[in-house]
Every structure is written in structure tokens, then in C-alpha cells.
Amino acid sequence: MIRMAIIGTGGMANGHAMIFKTIKGCNLTACCDVVPGRAQAFAAKHGIPQAYESAGAMLERERLDAVSIVTTDKAHAPMALLAIKHGLHVMCEKPLADNLRNARAMAQAARLKKIITAVNFSYRDNPATQMAAQIVASGKLGHIRHVAGSYLQSWLVGKYWGDWRKHEAWLWRLSTAHGSAGVLGDIGVHAYDFISFVVGDIAAMQCNLKTFDKGVKRIGPYVLDANDSFATIVRFKNGALGTLHSSRWATGHVNSVALQVYGDKGGLDIDLTRHAPETLRVCLGKDVDTNTWRPVKCPKTPNMYQRFITAIQSGRAAQADFAVGTRVQAYLDASLRSSAHGGQLVEIK
Ligand SMILES: NC(=O)c1ccc[n+]([C@@H]2O[C@H](COP(=O)([O-])OP(=O)(O)OC[C@H]3O[C@@H](n4cnc5c(N)ncnc54)[C@H](O)[C@@H]3O)[C@@H](O)[C@H]2O)c1
């Protein structure tokens, strides 16, 4: 039985608790949060035996095998390094870290301790994403020429997730001092992961980030300086050219994810807003002459939580481990550097 604990018991941690509780061979035994009382309430809600106000105390006292880190982004690196020091397997929320240096330190520490790691790149849970990666790798689309990816939200416009001015879970996402890399680090990170998972590594990019006027510059301790829209021109190692963009200003979009990949033999199209998550569409073979798109049914795929537990049980690396998380962090880092130089071309080593 794998004894698990959750570090950080805010909004997203509810999903972690509910899913880990359903996974065979996994026992959720403790949780912690720095806000007094928050972990206790969370433990009561999810039936978790122990609750703490510090990860340090929890890791000292509990007998654990693994942790899931669901804190604000800035705490990912210190919490992961602490857990790795205790020899625990670590699943970490995205983005892996608040900067590339910290991401590299986390990956290096995990490698040295030979522990299992995972980053919660949730869009890999989607059957269509896994099938798209298989279709591209099979060569059915031929040489990939052109790619378009996007991830759009609009919580700065619409109040469907509450008023962002009143909730710290939105305010820290708008503040670089609180470790947020803005929309880039929040949802752009998913987009960079799924576009590179499906198409292949990114070799270079030109990115523009934008922080728009919100009518107020500061709310309490939160200075609202993090980016909230970006557009990137992407050059893939396989020679393909693409665009990727994300925004919190995409009015009318709650959480819209889309990816189109076009090769010299066919194309594929994923639209997680309009189609069922297990569906993708392809235009292949004779259909390319008539521009006919057909749905492809995609089999269910294990989610990242299950992949993490399976990796611990088998001793084999999870699909998106800290090495993958570090590669994606390098895309975020390159985006920031490119934008700081007016959208200059930045190569990724
Ligand atoms: N994979 C996904 O699709 C997805 C979706 C939503 C959020 N997330 C990620 O999950 C993380 C949490 O997001 P959220 O929306 O739950 O935020 P949140 O603000 O609701 O919760 C974060 C919690 O972490 C706690 N915390 C901060 N530092 C801590 C520390 N050192 N030790 C213990 N607890 C600490 C805070 O007190 C808070 O309760 C973020 O990294 C976010 O990017 C991922």
C-alpha cells in the first residue's frame, strides 16, 4: 500500500483527494496547509486521518511513501526538494517550478535519489491527446508542416468562477511576487505540454506576453503585474511551424482547448470544447481531396494520478516526469526571455 499525503489543500487539492482515494494500492493518510485550520477542514471533508499546518512537521511525523504537491506555484520547488530529501516519490502540480533554475534543481535531486516523479499535465488525461500523439508518431500525417494550439479562459471578464478581485486563488495568479508566471505559467504551461507531447520538441520560439490594464494595479498584498495573454510563434525540431496562444480575456470561453496538426499526408483536429473528450477528427488518405473530416474514437487512458501510482508500483518512470516538466519549464523561460526582447527569436537548448 502506498501511503500518500497532500501538501496544499486549496481548490485543486479536492480533485487530488477524490481521485487518489479511488486508486487501488493508494492510501491517503495525511495532508497539510499553511493556512491555520484549512488542512483540518480538508481532512474532515475527505476522511483523511491526519492534518498539519506545516509540511516539515508532517514529513517528520508521518510514515509516507509519496506526496502530491498542490500548493501555489512558488512553493512547488521548496516542497518538492523537502519531500525528495525524505526519499518520497513526488507528484507536483504544474508548472513544475516558478523558474527554470528551480525546475532543474528538482529534476536533479529526484534523479540522484532515484525516486518516481510526475507533473500533473492534465490534458494528457484526455484520450484524444494520447491518440493524437500516437497518430503523429505513426507517420500517418506525413511530415508535420503546420500546427495551431490554443488554451482560452475569460475569468478576468466573466464571473462564472467568482469575482477574481475577491479570491486569493485568483489574485496570486496575477502577481509575480507570489510566484505566478501569469497565464503563461497557469494554462500556457498545459498548452506547451500538449503541443510538444503531440508534435515533438520545440527548437525555437518568438513570444509576446501582455499584461492588460484591469482598472486597479494592486489588491491588498497582490500587485497585478503578471501577464494575462500571450501569443507565440513556435518552430519545432521536426521542422514544423506553429502558433500557440492563451488568454484570460477570451470572452465567452470558460476553458477552451484546441489543437490542429497538419502534415503533408493528413491533418488532425482536437477541440475539447466542441467535441466529446474521447473524440478527435482526422482528414486522411482520399479524404484530403474532398476535405472530409471523420471522428476517431479514442480509448480511455489512465489519468496522471493513476500513472504516478503505477510508476511507483512498477519502478518505471511516469509519462510526464520532472524531466518532462523541466523541458516545458524551458519553454516558459524562453517565452519570458523572448517577450522581454520584443518577441526576439529564442533557441531552446
Ligand atoms: N492540473 C491542473 O489542471 C490544475 C488546475 C488548477 C490548479 N492547478 C495547480 O494547482 C496548484 C494549486 O492551485 P489552486 O487553484 O488549488 O490554488 P489555491 O490557492 O486554491 O490553493 C493553494 C493552497 O496551497 C497552500 N499553500 C501555499 N504554500 C504552502 C506550503 N508551503 N505548504 C502547504 N500549503 C501551502 C495555500 O495556503 C492554499 O491553500 C497550483 O500550482 C495550480 O497551478 C492545476
- For residue 105, the domain's CATH number is 3.40.50.720
For the chain, how many structural domains are there in total? 2
Model pLDDT for residues 27-82, shown as the tens digit of each residue: 999 999 999 999 999 999 999 999 999 999 999 999 999 999 999 999 999 999 99
Among 6, 29, 178, which residue's Cα sits nearest to residue 92? 6
98 within some domain: yes
Q: Is 122 in the pocket of ligand 1 (CB under 6 A)?
A: yes
Helix (H, G, I), strand (E, B) or coil at 205: strand
Length of the chain as a residue count = 349
The label of the residue with cell 500557440 reads: 244
224 and 338 share one domain:
yes
98 and 17 share one domain:
yes
98 and 139 share one domain:
no
Q: Whose CA is nearest to atom 11 of ligand 1?
A: 70
Closest approach atom of ligand 1 to CA 12: 16
Taking 80 as the threshold, does the pLDDT of residue 274 lie above it?
no
324 within some domain: no
Own/partner long-range contacts of 159-164 (Cβ < 8 Å, ≥24 apart): 160/254
135 and 115 share one domain:
no
- pLDDT-derived band of residue 279, with 50, 70 and 90 as boundaries? confident
pLDDT of residue 277: 67
pLDDT of residue 272: 84
How many whole angstroms separate alpha carbon 65 and alpha carbon 63?
7
Model pLDDT for residues 185-201, shown as the tens digit of each residue: 999 999 999 999 999 99
Give the global pTM.
0.96
Q: Is 97 in the pocket of ligand 1 (CB under 6 A)?
A: no
Q: What's the gap in Å between 289 CA and the centre of ligand 1?
A: 48
33 and 60 share one domain:
yes
pLDDT of residue 273: 79
- For residue 140, the domain's CATH number is 3.30.360.10
Q: Is 7 in the pocket of ligand 1 (CB under 6 A)?
A: yes
How many whole angstroms separate alpha carbon 198 and alpha carbon 130?
8
pLDDT (mean) for 306-335: 97
88 and 184 share one domain:
no
Q: Is 38 in the pocket of ligand 1 (CB under 6 A)?
A: yes
144 and 259 share one domain:
yes
Q: What's the gap in Å between 287 CA and the centre of ligand 1?
A: 45
- pLDDT-derived band of residue 275, with 50, 70 and 90 as boundaries? low
325 within some domain: no
Q: Which carries the bigger pLDDT value, residue 209 or residue 273? A: 209
With the most atoms of ligand 1 within 8 angstroms of its CB, the residue from 6, 7, 12, 81 to mutate is 12
Q: What's the gap in Å between 91 CA and the centre of ligand 1?
A: 13
pLDDT (mean) for 110-132: 96
Structural domain range at position 271 = 126-301+330-347
Taking 90 as the threshold, does the pLDDT of residue 115 lie above it?
yes
193 and 215 share one domain:
yes
94 and 45 share one domain:
yes
284 within some domain: yes
272 and 202 share one domain:
yes
Closest approach atom of ligand 1 to CA 76: 41
Q: Whose CA is nearest to atom 21 of ligand 1?
A: 10
pLDDT of residue 265: 98
170 and 22 share one domain:
no
Taking 90 as the threshold, does the pLDDT of residue 349 lie above it?
no
79 and 156 share one domain:
no
